[in-house]
Every structure is written in structure tokens, then in C-alpha cells.
């Protein structure tokens, strides 16, 4: 009799287990063992949050102002200079600077060259800068130097004690060449163009 009761109890237990597992499987839920946690049971804990400031530096020339022309095409130009032809050309917001911290801008120039021939005179066009329409610095903060576009490997141009995103600077191109010598620079029937490649570079100050 005891054996029958034992077998009956075992059978009922197995049926109950299959029934529970069947219901859990239908519901998409299966019993899982509790996850092990080896840490101490403490009342507080900490996480590290980092602010990582990666250095940024970039300088851009306004794409609508990447060609500056000084044109001599009349007797008056060769006699009196380019007064009527924009002898002084100021380009608004010519340079845009992105820099995290103080910076310097330097200027490289190839000099004025035509097919390998460089104009003998060294001083033809000078450039100067000033604060543009979008700048957090003041005139007192920024130092400027006038630079000749004679051949140079890197002349100091702008120096700022603070950085910023999207600072703009106006640049003035001023023709200062000796016009009395220009009349003998072209013996052909077509125009002769002397080109100076000017590169602006930005550095951490």
C-alpha cells in the first residue's frame, strides 16, 4: 500500500512539473537561475565621467574670394597706379578660424612668378588683417603684422590670445609695387600674368 502511495505521489509530481513547464514555455518565459554577483553589498558606488578636449585647428579662405586681381590695362594704370581699379582691395570675412586655444596665423608666398620667371622687385602687394564680423576678440586682444607677398616661407600675420570656433578676419590686399617698372614686363601681344600663391597656416600659440 505504501509503495502504491509513493508511486502515485511521484507520478503526480512529474505531471505537475510538466504542466508548469508547458505553461511557462507557452508564455515565452523559462525559469532561470539567479545570476551570480561577486561584489560587496555596499550602500554607494562611483562611475568616472571624462570631458576629453581634443585640440582643434582649421583655417579657411572664403571660397568666393580665392582670386585677387590687380589689372593694368590702360595708360593711366601704368602712369598713376590702380587708383581707379581698386589698388586697395579689402575682403570681408576673408579668413575663418577654428582653434581650441591661443593661435598664430602665418603666411607663405611664392612671390610673383610667370612660367618660372619671378618679378625682380620684391614688394608688389602687402596684406593686413583686422577682426571680421564674427569674432569674440577685440582689436586690443589680437596682434597683427603687415606682410609682403614677396617670396616667404612663413611670416607672422595674426596672433590671438584666445581660441574660438568660426572667428573671421578681414584681409586687405594693397598694391604697393613700383608702377614705373611694370611697363617693361610685357613685350607680347597677350596679357602676361604673374601669380603669387599665398597660403595661410594656423598654429597653436
Mean pLDDT on 40-47: 87
The DSSP letter of residue 85 is T
Backbone angles phi, psi at 143, to 5 degrees: -105, 135
Q: How far is CA 183 from CA 34, 107, 149, in A?
A: 94, 29, 20
Q: 3-state class of 62 per DSSP?
A: coil
Kindly report, residue by residue over 138-171, the tens digit of the pLDDT.
Answer: 666 789 999 999 888 899 999 998 888 899 999 9
Backbone angles phi, psi at 146, to 5 degrees: -75, 135
Kindly report, residue by residue over 56-107, the tens digit of the pLDDT.
Answer: 999 999 999 999 999 888 888 888 777 766 789 999 999 999 999 999 999 9
Interatomic CA distance for residues 120 and 69, integer angstroms: 20
Is residue 107 a contact partner of residue 171, using CB atoms and an 8 Å limit? Answer: no
pLDDT band at 20 (very low <50, low <70, confident <90, very high): very low
Q: 3-state class of 201 per DSSP?
A: strand
- pTM (two decimals): 0.75
Interatomic CA distance for residues 132 and 154, integer angstroms: 23
pLDDT band at 11 (very low <50, low <70, confident <90, very high): very low
Q: Which of 21-35, 66-80, 124-138 comes out lowest in average pLDDT?
A: 21-35
Backbone angles phi, psi at 31, to 5 degrees: -65, 135
What does the pLDDT read at residue 30?
Answer: 58
What does the pLDDT read at residue 40?
Answer: 72
Amino acid at each position: 500500500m505504501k509503495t502504491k502511495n509513493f508511486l502515485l505521489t511521484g507520478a503526480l509530481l512529474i505531471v505537475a512539473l510538466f504542466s508548469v513547464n508547458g505553461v511557462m514555455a507557452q508564455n515565452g518565459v523559462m525559469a532561470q537561475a539567479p545570476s551570480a554577483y561577486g561584489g560587496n553589498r555596499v550602500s554607494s558606488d562611483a562611475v568616472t565621467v571624462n570631458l576629453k578636449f581634443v585640440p582643434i585647428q582649421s583655417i579657411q579662405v572664403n571660397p568666393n574670394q580665392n582670386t585677387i586681381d590687380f589689372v593694368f590695362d590702360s595708360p593711366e594704370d601704368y602712369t598713376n597706379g590702380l587708383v581707379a581699379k581698386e589698388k586697395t582691395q579689402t575682403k570681408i570675412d576673408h579668413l575663418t578660424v577654428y582653434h581650441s586655444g591661443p593661435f598664430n596665423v602665418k603666411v607663405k608666398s611664392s612671390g610673383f612668378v610667370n612660367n618660372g620667371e619671378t618679378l625682380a622687385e620684391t614688394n608688389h602687394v602687402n596684406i593686413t588683417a583686422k577682426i571680421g564680423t564674427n569674432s569674440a576678440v577685440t582689436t586690443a586682444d589680437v596682434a597683427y603684422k603687415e606682410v609682403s607677398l614677396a617670396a616667404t616661407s612663413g611670416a607672422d600675420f595674426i596672433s590671438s590670445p584666445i581660441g574660438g570656433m568660426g572667428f573671421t578676419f578681414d584681409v586687405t590686399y594693397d598694391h604697393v609695387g613700383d608702377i614705373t617698372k611694370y611697363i617693361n614686363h610685357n613685350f607680347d601681344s597677350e596679357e602676361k600674368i604673374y601669380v603669387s600663391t599665398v597660403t595661410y597656416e594656423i598654429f597653436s600659440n
